[in-house]
Structure 1
Amino acid sequence: MTRDRFPTARLLALLVPVALLGGALVSQYVGKLYPCELCWFQRYPHAAAIVLAALAFVAPGRTAQRLLVALAGVAILVSGLIGVFHAGVEYHWWQGFTECTSTMTGPVTLDSIMKAPIVRCDVAQWRLGGISLAGFNAVFSIAGAIAIFWTMRGKRS
């Protein structure tokens, strides 16, 4: 008898991007690690995955729920692949699209432009064991997507 593992896949599809996007926001607002352009690109698929996974809890019908979870898994995987690209830019394995961005908010004045922090995409602001935040996002996002797809292959009703 095959156990239905879809509820686990659906929960993973919600918790993985919530944890990773939450970690990114904590590192930004508490740790003062301002995101570069490639950091932002990694966040968008996680935000989409949260919406898709949340909809999978309320969608009518098992087929619609499975589709939403699968799409959330794809979005998480996309964020991980962007993380691989970003980590490669940080390690100077290849050239990125841009070298720096700014996180300026509010009205644009000369003073606000001069005070806005410049955040380079090719320089990791933080590393643990030689792995940057982009590298950790790549590892956890790709592993999370694999776990979601693996658990979805269980019993269908």
Structure 2
Amino acid sequence: MTFLTQRNLILLAAGGSAAMMLGALAFQHLGDMAPCKLCIWQRWPHVIAIGFGMLALLVAPRVMAFGGMLAALTTAGIGLYHTGVERGFWQGPTTCTAGDATSLSTDDLLAQIMAAPLVRCDEVPWEMFTLSMASWNAVVSLGLAGVWFLAWRRG
């Protein structure tokens, strides 16, 4: 049980976010999978959680652990939202998905096509065990939030 000190839990949680970021960057740069807008949104809370982890080692570990937990919950929430967009449960941002084009004029449709990003948020570029990267981010991030919570409670 001595391994589960507040410091070690913080290192584990922040290290988990760092591993998630390294994985995302590997998919992007080594796997040639450009991220969509929602993928980028999911990365920012991981970066913030890493920052909270580094700050926790210097000052106010309990406060920083709570911040890390909120960051992990935020990226998990974005991952769940992104999963819903991928599965067609709801529509994503209009700059990120294919919308309903039946009511658009020709000029409006052309403008939407020209402004559309190259990577769509409603398509799954990779999955494992029927879960997309967004889904895996949500699952892992919920686990990381749990580790942050344990670190916060140990404070």
TM-score by length of 2: 0.80
Is 1:80 the counterpart of 2:44? The answer is no
Percent identical among aligned pairs is: 39
Structure 1 residue runs without a partner (length 5+):
102-113
Aligned CA RMSD, in angstroms, stands at 2.1
Q: 84, 90, 94: which one pairs with 1:98?
A: 94
Q: CA contact under 8 A between 2:17 and 2:50: conserved in structure 1? A: yes
1:49-68 pair list within 5 angstroms:
49-59=49-59, 64-68=60-64
Shift of 1:55: 1.1
Q: Which structure 1 residue ranges, 4+ long, deviate > 3 Å from structure 2?
A: none
Q: Residues 129-148 of structure 1, C-alpha deviation per residue, up to 9 Å, x if partnerless?
A: 11100000000001110122
Distance 1:125 1:133, change over 3 A: same
Shift of 1:151: 4.2
Q: How many corresponding residue pairs?
A: 137
The residue identity in structure 1 corresponding to 2:131 is I
TM-score by length of 1: 0.79
Distance 1:152 1:69, change over 3 A: closer
Q: State the secondary structure of the residue aligned to 1:77.
A: helix
The residue identity in structure 1 corresponding to 2:137 is N
Shift of 1:57: 1.1
Q: Residues 95-114 of structure 1, C-alpha deviation per residue, up to 9 Å, x if partnerless?
A: 1113538xxxxxxxxxxxx9
Structure 1 CA distance for aligned equivalents of residues 73 and 82 of structure 2:
14
- Specify the alignment match of 2:12 in structure 1: 12
- Specify the alignment match of 2:119 in structure 1: 119
Q: Residues 79-135 of structure 1, C-alpha deviation per residue, up to 9 Å, x if partnerless?
A: 01100000110011111113538xxxxxxxxxxxx9xx7100000111111110000
Structure 2 CA distance for aligned equivalents of residues 55 and 100 of structure 1:
34
